[in-house]
Amino acid sequence: MGMFRGQGATEYLVLLAVVLIVALVSVALLGFFPGMASDARISQSQSYWRGQARPFSILENSITAAGAGTLVLQNVEANGPYTITAIAAGACTNATSTAFAAGETKTMTLASCTAGTAGAVYDISVNITYTTPNSVSSKQYGTKNLIGKYV
Name the residue type at position 146: L
* Total number of domains in the chain: 1
- List pLDDT tens digits, range 95-107: 899 999 999 999 9
- Report d(CA 34, CA 121) in Å as an integer: 12
- List pLDDT tens digits, range 135-146: 999 999 988 999
Q: Is there a domain that residue 5 lies in?
A: no
Does position 4 have pLDDT exceeding 80, yes or no? no
Does position 1 have pLDDT exceeding 60, yes or no? no
Buried b (16+ CB within 10 A) or exposed e, 126-139: bebebbeeeeeeee
Q: Is there a domain that residue 84 lies in?
A: yes
Q: Is there a domain that residue 22 lies in?
A: no
- Domain CATH for 112: 2.60.40
Q: Is there a domain that residue 65 lies in?
A: yes
Q: Is there a domain that residue 9 lies in?
A: no
Question: What residues make up the domain containing 78?
Answer: 42-149
Q: Is there a domain that residue 141 lies in?
A: yes
Residue 108, exposed/middle/buried by CB under 10 A (0-12, 13-18, 19+)? middle
Q: What is the pTM of this model?
A: 0.72
Q: Is there a domain that residue 6 lies in?
A: no
Going by C-alpha positions, the residue among 119, 115, 49 that lies closest to residue 87 is 49
- Output the average pLDDT for the chain: 89
Q: Is there a domain that residue 15 lies in?
A: no
